[in-house]
Chains A and B, each alone.
Chain A
Amino acid sequence: MADIPRRVPVAAPLAESAWRVRARRWRELLTATLANPTTVIGLVLIIGMLAVALFAPLLTEPNTPDPYQMPRDWGALNEPPGTPGHLLGTTNTGGDVLYGIIWGARTSLRLSLIVVSITAVVGVAVGSLAGFSGGRIDEILMRIVDVFLSIPELIFALAIAAVLGPSFRNIILALAVVFWVKYARIMRAQIIHIKKNDYVDAARVIGDSGWRIYATDVLPNSITPVIVQATLDMGHIVLVGATLSFIGLAEAGLAEWGVLVSEGQAGISAGRWWASTFPGLMVFLWALAFNLVGDGLRDVLDPRTESAR
C-alpha cells in the first residue's frame, strides 16, 4: 500500500498553501483507494445502485399516488420471471418484482442516508463532548453509551420499532436510536488521541479558543474513522432495516426489499423462488458494496486498526 501521511505535516513546505496540501492529500488518498481491486468492485456496485435509486422514475412508470407503494397487477399473480411486462416475475399479490427492486433501491438509499447522517452527527457530537471535556461529563456520557451497547442492536431496534408501532418511519427512528453509540465511542477515542499532539498544545499557546482548536485542529484530524464507519453503516443499516421489515415492521406493500422477501416467502414451497430471491440479492449486494469500500477505505485511511468485525 502506498505510504500516505496521516496528517498534514506541521512543517509543510511554506510554498504550499494549506488547501493545496489538502488537495494533494485527497488525490493521494484517491489513488491509493483505487489501487485495491475489491474496493473498485464495491465502488462500481455502489454507483450502479445509486444510479438505479436516482433514476427510478425513468426506469419504471412511478405508481400513483405513492410511488413507494408497490403497484398491483391483479391480472398477473405469481407470474414467473420473463413474463412480458414483468421481467422478474410477480408476487402472489401481483406486485412487479422488478418495480420493487428499483424503488426498493430508492427506499434503501433514503433509509441509510437519513439514519447515517443522524447517527453520525449525534455520535460525533456526544463523542467530542466526552473526549474534549473529560472528567465527570466524559464518565457519565460513556456509561450511557455502555448501556446502549449492552443491548444487541437488532433486538434493541426490534423492540423500539415494535413499541412505536409498525411503520417504515418508526424503523428509521429505531435505527437512529440504536446506531449513534458507535460513533460516540470512535470519536471520543480519536479526540483523546489527537488532543495529545503538539500542534494542539501549540494552538492553545497562541491563544486559540477551545472551539477554534476543536474545529480547525482536532475535528479534521480525527474524522477519518468516522468516515470509515459511516461507509460501513450505509450498508449495515440497510441490512438491519430490511431484516426489521422482513419480520413485519414496515407497512405491507411498501416497495422495500425486506418486505418483498417476506411477501415472496409464502410462495417458495410452491416453487415460486423469484419473489424472495431477487430482492434478497439486492440487500446482499448493497451491503457487500459498502463493506468492500469501507474495508478499502479503512486500509488506506486507518492502517493501524485491523478490522474488528
Chain B
Amino acid sequence: MQIRDYVLRRLLILPLLVVGTSLIVFSLTRIGGSPIGIYLSHEMDDQEVAQLEERFHLDDPLPVQYVYWATGVLRGDLGWSGVAAAPVTQVFPAKLTASMELAIASAIVAVVLGISLGTYAGARRNRLPDHITRIFSISGASMPLFWFAILLLIVFWVNLGWFPVGRSNAEIFHSIPHPTGMYTIDALLAFDLTALRDALWHLALPAITLGYGATAIIARMMRSSLVEELQEDYVDAARAKGLPERLVLKRHARRNALIPTVTVIGLTFGFLLQGAVVAEIIFQWPGLGRWMADAVLRGDQATIMAYVMFTSVLFLFVNLAVDVVYAYLDRRVVLGE
C-alpha cells in the first residue's frame, strides 16, 4: 500500500468514526432516561408534558431523535449547561483557552524533561542515572495523578509555601487586559513582568502534575532509541575520527533517536486530555476538565456530552496526525499489513 492510499483510507474512515462516536454519545444521553426531566415541573399535567415532548421531538422514534440531535450539534447547538448556567457554546471558549494554556505548558515540561532525561540515561546505560530514570518511567504509568498532585500540594503549597493554587492573583489579573485568555501570553503582550511571574507561578504545579505521565513515556522512548542508535556503525565512525563523545551524542546519535520519540510525543496527548480533569480539580484550574467534573457530579448532561464529543474528535485528529507522521517516518510498520 502506498502511503498516500493509507492516508486517504484513514481520512475516509474518520467521518465514520466521528458518526460512531456521536452515536455512542447520543445513546449515553438516553441511557439515563428521557432528557425531558429538566423541563418538567410538578404543576404540569399529562397534556402539557406531551406537548413538551412533541416540541423537543422526544415522542419520535430514537433514530429520528438522533437526527434532530446531530443536526443541532452541527449547527453549534450543544444545549444548556446547568453547571455554568449558560449555553454550552457560550462558556466553552473561555474554558478551552484555560485548558489549552495548561496543556501547552505541560507538553513543554514533558518534552523538555522527557528528552533530556532520556538522553542522560541512554548515554549512561546500566549506570545509576539509567536505573533512576527507569524507576521514574515505570512509576509514571502507575502513578495516580490525583495522588501525585496532592503530594505536590502538601510539599510545595502547604509546607514550603512556594506555589499558590488557582489560576491567578485577582489583583494582578485585573491590572492587565486579557485579549487571548491565556494569562502568560496576555502578560507578555502587556510587557508586565509581575503578571508573567504570577501566571507562570500558578501554572507550575498543575503543569508538572499533568506533564508527569507524558514525561515518563517520552523519557523511556528517548532512552531506548538512543541506546539503539549508539550501537550503530556511524557512531563508531564518528568516534573513530576523534569526535568528542559529547558531540557524537549531540550531533549524531541524539538527532536520529529523536525521530521515534517525536511520534511518541503525539501519543502522550491522550494523557494530557484525561489528566486535565484531575489536575484541574485539585489545582482549582477553571478549564474544561473541572467543568466536566462538576457536570458529572451534578448530572449536567449537555456539558458532559459536549465535552466527550469534543475530546473524542480532537483525539481522533491527533491520532490520525500521529499515525500519518509515523507512517512517513517508518514505512515498514503500516505498509507490511
How far apart sit A271 and B144, CA to CA, in the bound complex (Å)?
A: 21
Determine if A151 and B308 form an interchain contact, defined as CB atoms under 8 angstroms apart.
yes
Determine if A276 and B296 form an interchain contact, defined as CB atoms under 8 angstroms apart.
no
Determine if A159 and B308 form an interchain contact, defined as CB atoms under 8 angstroms apart.
yes
Q: A163-B32, A165-B32 are in contact. Are A150 and B144 (CB under 8 A)?
A: no
Q: Report if A68 contacts B (CB, 8 A).
A: no
Interface of B is mostly: helix
**Stretch binding the partner chain, chosen from B102-110, B193-201, B238-246, B311-319:** B311-319
Distance of B205 from chain A, by nearest CB (Å): 13
Q: Report if B270 contacts A (CB, 8 A).
A: yes
**Stretch binding the partner chain, chosen from A116-124, A195-203, A220-228, A280-288:** A280-288
Q: Which of the residues B144, B151, B297, B308 comes within 8 Å of A155, measured between beta carbons?
A: B308
- Which residues of chain B in 103-151 are interfacial with respect to chain A, using CB atoms and an 8 Å cutoff? 138-139, 141-147, 150-151
Residues of B within 8 A of A280 (CB): 144, 146-147, 150-151
Q: Report if A248 contacts B (CB, 8 A).
A: yes
Q: Which of the residues B144, B278, B301, B312 comes within 8 Å of A163, measured between beta carbons?
A: B301
Q: A152-B270, A268-B153 are in contact. Are A261 and B146 (CB under 8 A)?
A: yes
Q: Report if B249 contacts A (CB, 8 A).
A: no
Residues of A within 8 A of B25 (CB): 159
Q: Report if B170 contacts A (CB, 8 A).
A: no
Total cross-chain contacts (CB, 8 A)? 151
Distance of B153 from chain A, by nearest CB (Å): 6
Determine if B299 and A162 form an interchain contact, defined as CB atoms under 8 angstroms apart.
yes
How far apart sit A21 and B114, CA to CA, in the bound complex (Å)?
A: 45
**Stretch binding the partner chain, chosen from A46-54, A59-67, A75-83, A239-247:** A239-247
Q: How many residues of B contact A (CB 8 A)?
A: 53
How far apart sit A295 and B17, CA to CA, in the bound complex (Å)?
A: 31
Q: A152-B315, A155-B274, A155-B308 are in contact. Are A147 and B28 (CB under 8 A)?
A: no
Q: A155-B307, A246-B278, A283-B147 are in contact. Are A150 and B142 (CB under 8 A)?
A: no
How far apart sit A258 and B7, CA to CA, in the bound complex (Å)?
A: 42
- Which residues of chain B in 291-335 are interfacial with respect to chain A, using CB atoms and an 8 Å cutoff? 292-293, 295-297, 299, 301, 304-305, 307-308, 311-312, 315-316, 319
Residues of B within 8 A of A295 (CB): 138
Determine if A249 and B277 form an interchain contact, defined as CB atoms under 8 angstroms apart.
no
Q: Report if B31 contacts A (CB, 8 A).
A: yes
Q: Name which residue of chain B comes closest to A159, CB basis.
A: B308
Interface of A is mostly: helix
How far apart sit A145 and B27, CA to CA, in the bound complex (Å)?
A: 16
How far apart sit A168 and B106, CA to CA, in the bound complex (Å)?
A: 31
Q: How many residues of A contact B (CB 8 A)?
A: 52
Q: Report if A214 contacts B (CB, 8 A).
A: no
Q: List residues of A whose CB falls within 8 A of some B CB.
A: 38, 143-144, 146-148, 150-156, 158-166, 235, 239, 242-243, 246-249, 258, 261-262, 264-265, 268-269, 271, 273, 276-277, 280-281, 283-284, 287-288, 291-292, 295, 306, 309
Q: List residues of B whose CB falls within 8 A of some A CB.
A: 13, 16-17, 20-21, 23-25, 28-29, 31-32, 138-139, 141-147, 150-151, 153-154, 157-159, 217, 224, 270, 273-274, 277-278, 281-282, 292-293, 295-297, 299, 301, 304-305, 307-308, 311-312, 315-316, 319
Known: A284-B142, A309-B217. 6 other contacts (CB 8 A): A146-B13, A146-B17, A151-B308, A154-B274, A155-B273, A164-B31
